[in-house]
């Protein structure tokens, strides 16, 4: 019955010359999302709106499911699109539409028509009145409420006539690609995929980096991170995932630095390396899944010590979230089940029994000097052996 979708998007902040950038990015992301669906779709902008027209057969649920992944969409309206064959015919179609979409007629409604084509022989007010009357005649249980109708029946007279009333909520946010790009530090945990999702939702494209420590972390642990990136990429489009071999750096830090400072120093090297790749790939910031107080390396003091080594802004969208809130979000976006698979993480392997919770930055810096030039060499090797995996949902 439905042959098209009208895509609604929030217009806040997309006035003037930014508007077409926003719309083009949205069209691009919709095309990407619908590539995975059966059927052909024509996606086009028309008079300040975006339409998805199905060309022939398509699977309604699958298509809506994919559209729900596209940031920037605030609502998805399934549209019945009919040829203009005169008002009498339109009246019949409207009555049919109400029968098909609302089996329960105990509802209030309002007709809202618009003439994008001004040569249509009736004015909007007339159309509203005539169609309202037709509906009341056909379904006496229904009544009109112009202020808060249960059903707002939209009738748009264009080349064809579009009829729609249902709005399926979209994910909101901004289309990916309108906000630049950032580098996500992606581990196999629960938090970092959610952090990536949240920043991407604001229109930011994601690259990712994973610190792998073979043989302490297995191929399966790495595969888990690839799988998580794939789930996130359903929302974002392809993610360039950099896999960095971190083993030698970790072992060297382990050899030269006090064990209770190991995690912090390791985290500082992760940030330095991530920042290096970020700069080379045009990323404008780093993203982590940190949240204040969650673990020893995420106290305010520890965050200060880790943050100190980067110049790029570090985005930590989960900073004020409780674990339970993060878990709920992970469930909603579909990463939770993969995140809780029990493979080892490089941070947990070298972790001390009593890590510092209030690292002193000056002392950390002094202990890092134990690492001398050799660490530079190890970092360079890690960067040179960066394995790039392009992940697509």
Q: Which residues bind Mg ion (CB under 5 A)?
A: 187, 189, 345
At its nearest, how many Å lie between ligand ATP and the CB of residue 165? 42
Closest residue by beta carbon to ligand ATP: 189
CB-CB contact of 219 with 359 (8 Å): no
Rounded to the nearest angstrom, the gap between the alpha carbon of residue 150 and the centroid of all alpha carbons in its chain is 30
DSSP β-bridge partners for residue 211: 244
Place of tokens 């110049």: 311
CA distance 179 to 163: 34
Contacting ligand ATP (CB under 6 A), which of 124, 143, 294, 357?
294
* Closer to ligand ATP by Cβ: residue 295 or 312: 295
CA dihedral over 349, 354, 360, 363, signed as positive or negative: negative
* Closer to Mg ion by Cβ: residue 26 or 266: 266
CA 345 to each of CA 219, 322, 351: distance values in angstroms, whole numbers, following the listed order: 11, 21, 10
At its nearest, how many Å lie between Mg ion and the CB of residue 378? 22
190's contact among Mg ion, ligand ATP, none, with CB below 5 to 8 A by partner kind, is ligand ATP
81's contact among ligand ATP, Mg ion, none, with CB below 5 to 8 A by partner kind, is none
Can residue 261 be called a binding residue for ligand ATP (CB under 6 A)? Answer: no
Environment class of 75 (CB within 10 Å of its CB; exposed 0-12, middle 13-18, buried 19+)? middle
Q: Which residues, 324 to 383, sit near ligand ATP by CB under 6 A?
A: 346-347
Which range, of 26-34, 102-110, 181-189, 235-243, touches ligand ATP by CB under 6 A? 181-189
94's contact among Mg ion, ligand ATP, none, with CB below 5 to 8 A by partner kind, is none
Can residue 317 be called a binding residue for ligand ATP (CB under 6 A)? Answer: no
CB-CB contact of 314 with 338 (8 Å): no
At its nearest, how many Å lie between ligand ATP and the CB of residue 331? 14
Can residue 290 be called a binding residue for ligand ATP (CB under 6 A)? Answer: yes
Can residue 190 be called a binding residue for ligand ATP (CB under 6 A)? Answer: yes
* Closer to Mg ion by Cβ: residue 177 or 289: 289
Contacting ligand ATP (CB under 6 A), which of 72, 189, 285, 359?
189
CB-CB contact of 335 with 228 (8 Å): yes
CB-CB contact of 180 with 284 (8 Å): yes
Rounded to the nearest angstrom, the gap between the alpha carbon of residue 282 and the centroid of all alpha carbons in its chain is 20
* Closer to ligand ATP by Cβ: residue 23 or 191: 191
Contacting ligand ATP (CB under 6 A), which of 25, 73, 186, 264?
186
Rounded to the nearest angstrom, the gap between the alpha carbon of residue 346 and the centroid of all alpha carbons in its chain is 27
DSSP code of residue 351 = -
Tell me the backbone φ, ψ of residue 332, rounded to 5 degrees: -65, -40
Binding site for ligand ATP (CB under 6 A): 185-187, 189-192, 209-211, 288-290, 294-295, 297-298, 346-347
């Amino acid at each position: 019955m439905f042959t098209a979708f009208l895509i609604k998007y929030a217009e806040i902040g997309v006035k003037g010359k930014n508007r077409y950038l926003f719309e083009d990015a949205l069209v691009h992301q919709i095309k990407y999302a619908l590539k995975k669906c059966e059927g052909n779709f024509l996606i086009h902008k028309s008079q300040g709106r975006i339409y998805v027209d199905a060309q022939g057969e398509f699977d309604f649920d699958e298509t809506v499911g994919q559209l729900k992944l596209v940031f920037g969409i605030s609502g998805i309206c399934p549209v019945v699109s009919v040829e203009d064959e005169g008002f009498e015919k339109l009246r019949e179609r409207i009555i049919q539409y109400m029968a098909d979409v609302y089996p329960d007629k105990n509802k209030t409604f309002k007709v809202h028509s618009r003439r994008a084509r001004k040569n249509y022989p009736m004015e909007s007010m007339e159309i509203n009145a005539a169609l309202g009357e037709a509906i009341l005649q056909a379904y006496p249980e229904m009544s009109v409420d112009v202020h808060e109708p249960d059903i707002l029946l939209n009738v748009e007279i264009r080349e064809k006539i579009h009829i729609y009333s249902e709005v399926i909520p979209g994910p909101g946010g901004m289309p990916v690609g309108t906000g630049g790009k950032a580098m996500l530090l992606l581990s196999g945990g629960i938090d970092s995929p959610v952090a990536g999702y949240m920043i991407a939702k604001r229109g930011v494209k994601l690259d990712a980096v994973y610190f792998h420590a073979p043989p302490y972390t297995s191929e399966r642990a790495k595969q888990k991170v690839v799988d998580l990136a794939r789930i996130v990429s359903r929302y974002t489009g392809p993610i360039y995932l950099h896999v960095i071999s971190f083993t030698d750096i970790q072992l060297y830090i382990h050899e030269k630095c006090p064990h209770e400072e190991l995690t912090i120093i390791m985290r500082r090297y992760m940030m330095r390396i991530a920042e290096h790749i970020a700069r080379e790939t045009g990323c404008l910031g780093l993203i982590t899944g940190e949240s204040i107080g969650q673990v020893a390396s995420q106290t305010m003091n520890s965050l200060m010590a880790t943050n100190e080594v980067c110049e790029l802004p570090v985005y930590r969208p989960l900073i004020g979230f409780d674990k339970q809130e993060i878990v709920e979000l992970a469930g909603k976006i579909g990463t939770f089940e993969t995140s809780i698979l029990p493979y080892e993480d490089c941070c947990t392997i070298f972790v001390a029994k009593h890590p510092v919770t209030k690292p002193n930055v000056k002392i950390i810096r002094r202990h890092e000097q134990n690492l001398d030039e050799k660490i530079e060499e190890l970092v360079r090797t890690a960067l040179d052996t960066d394995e790039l995996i392009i992940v697509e949902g």
